[in-house]
Amino acid sequence: MKIRKEILPVLKPHGGEEEVEALSKVIKSGWWGKGPKVAQFEKEFAEMVGAKYAIAVNSATAGQDLILKALDITDADVINPTISFMTTAVVPLWNNCTSNIVDVDPVTMCLDPEDVRKHLKPNTKAIIAVNQAGVPADIDAIREFYDGLIIEDTAHSCYTPGAGSKGDVAVWSFQAVKTMPCGDGGMITTNNKELYDKIAPLTWLGITSTYSRVNNSMNGKPGYSWDYEVEKLGTKCYMIDMQAAICLEQMKKLPKNLEWRRHIQKRYNDALGHLIQIPPHSETVQYYCAKVDANDRDDIINYLADKKIHTSVHFKPLHKFKILKQDRDYPVADKEWLRLVSFPCHNNMTEEDIEYVIYWVKQYFKKNG
C-alpha cells in the first residue's frame, strides 16, 4: 500500500457548517458571555445524562477544582488513579491536599478498588474515579468500604449510558479532541441540590446574583441587578454562549458520531485481535488503547509514524512525574503502561483511513514476527 502524504492524526475534532452557523448566531445576538445558550445547554445535557443539576464551566479541570473548593476540601488526602491525565493529580495539590495516587486494574486501567482500600487514610476526603477511555471505573466496589465523596471523572464517557450516576458528582469534558468538543469546556452534574447550590456561584467569583441573572431570575424577578453579595470566594471559570452553542450542535450529532467510533473499534478488534490485546469495550471509544508487547511498543509507534500514522500513549503514569513521585510500588501500571499504544480513532476517519491503519499494523507484525 502506498504511503499517504498527509498525517493521519490519532485524534481530531469533527465539526461542520452547523457549528459555524450556531456560532455566527451567537456573535450576531450580542450576548457572547454566559447567557441563554449556556442555560439551554445545562438543561439539555442534564436531561441526556439523567442528572438533576448541571453547571457548565470552561474546562473539566476547573470543574474538579471547584468541587474541592465548594466543599472546603483542603489539607486532606485525595485518591486518584495513576493512569490518568495530569488534572486528577494536580487539582488536589492546588487545594493544599495530598495527591494519593493508586494503582490500576490490569484490564480496565481504571483505579483498582483493592489498592484504593489498601491506601485509604483517616483524612481521605475524596476519591477521583476516572472512566479511562470511556470504560467505567468500579465505583460499586469502592462503595462497599468507602462512604465519602466520590468524584466521577467522566471526561472520556460522553456519553456512556449510566456514566456519571455512580459518584456523588461527575465532571465531563468538551475539550477539543473529546467526543463532544467545543474547543474547551466542561460540565459538573449531580443529583445533590446542596452541592449544586455550593458550586454554582463559584463559577463567577462567588457572585450569587450574577449566576441567577443569566438564568433570567433574581429573587424571582427577571433581569439584571447591579446589587450582589459574595458569601464565598470563587474563581472565574463559567462557560460562555459561544462554547455552549457549539456543544448544543455537537450533542445533536453525538449518537451518530459514537456509532462511527464504535465501528472503528470493531474493525480494529476484528482485524487485529490476533496481533494485539484489544481494549475493553467502550461505548464512546474516546481512545482506542491497544496493548502490544512492551518490546514492540516504541518500535510500532515509530514504524507507524514513518507511514504517516500518528499514535499516542494514554497515559504515562502520574507517579512517573517528578512533582507527583510516590513512595510506593505500582506493579500493574509500571508493567502495563509500557504496552499501551493508542491508534487513530475519530469522526474524521474514513473507511479507507481505518483500512490504512489496519494494513500497516499488520505489516509491522509480519515484518517483526
Query: Which pLDDT value is given to residue 369?
Result: 78
Where exactly does CATH 3.40.640.10 map onto the chain? 17-247
By DSSP bridging, strand 288-291 and strand 340-343 are antiparallel
- Architecture of 254-368 per CATH? Alpha-Beta Complex (3.90)
pLDDT at residue 224 in the model: 56
For residues 92 and 323, give the distance between their C-alpha atoms in angstroms, rounded to a whole number.
Answer: 13
> How many whole angstroms separate alpha carbon 246 and alpha carbon 265?
26
Question: Distance (Å, rounded) from C-alpha 335 to C-alpha 290?
Answer: 14
Q: What is the pLDDT of residue 217?
A: 45
Does residue 180 sit in helix, strand or coil?
coil
Count the neighbouring beta carbons within 10 Å of the beta carbon of residue 331: 10
Residues of the chain with CATH 3.90.1150.10: 254-368
User: Which parts of the chain are beta strand (E)?
Assistant: 53-57, 77-81, 98-102, 124-130, 149-153, 169-173, 186-190, 288-291, 340-343
Q: Which three cell numbers stand for residue 219?
A: 429573587
Could you please state the CATH topology (level 3) that the domain comprising 17-247 is classified under.
Aspartate Aminotransferase; domain 2 (3.40.640)
Q: What is the pLDDT of residue 207?
A: 84
Each residue's pLDDT expressed in tens, for the chain with a length of 369 residues = 999 999 999 999 999 999 999 999 999 998 899 999 999 999 999 999 999 999 999 999 999 999 999 999 999 999 999 999 999 999 999 999 999 999 999 999 999 999 999 999 999 999 999 999 999 999 999 999 999 999 999 999 999 999 999 999 999 999 999 999 999 999 999 999 999 999 999 999 988 754 444 554 445 544 556 677 888 999 999 999 999 999 999 999 999 999 999 999 999 999 999 999 999 999 999 999 999 999 999 999 999 999 999 999 999 999 999 999 999 999 999 999 999 999 999 999 999 999 999 999 999 999 997
Closest Cα to residue 16, out of 246, 187, 234, 222? 246
Cell of 326: 510516590
Rounded Cα gap, residues 132 and 38, in angstroms: 27
pLDDT of residue 231: 87
| pLDDT tens per residue, range 152-201 | 999 999 999 999 999 999 999 999 999 999 999 999 999 999 999 999 99
Q: What does the alpha-carbon distance between residue 51 and residue 54 come to, in Å, rounded to a whole number?
A: 7
Query: What is the rounded distance in angstroms from the CA atom of residue 250 to the CA atom of residue 367?
Result: 41
Pairing mode of beta strands 186-190, 169-173:
antiparallel
**SS3 of 338, please?**
helix
d(CA 186, CA 171): 7
* CA-based nearest residue to 142, from 126, 160, 123: 126
On whether the CB atoms of residues 150 and 134 are closer than 8 A, the answer is no
> Is 264 in contact with 355 (CB distance < 8 Å)?
no
List the one residue out of 108, 141, 103 whose CA is nearest residue 282.
Answer: 108
Residue 134 contacts residue 81 (beta carbons within 8 Å):
no
Q: How many residues does the chain have?
A: 369
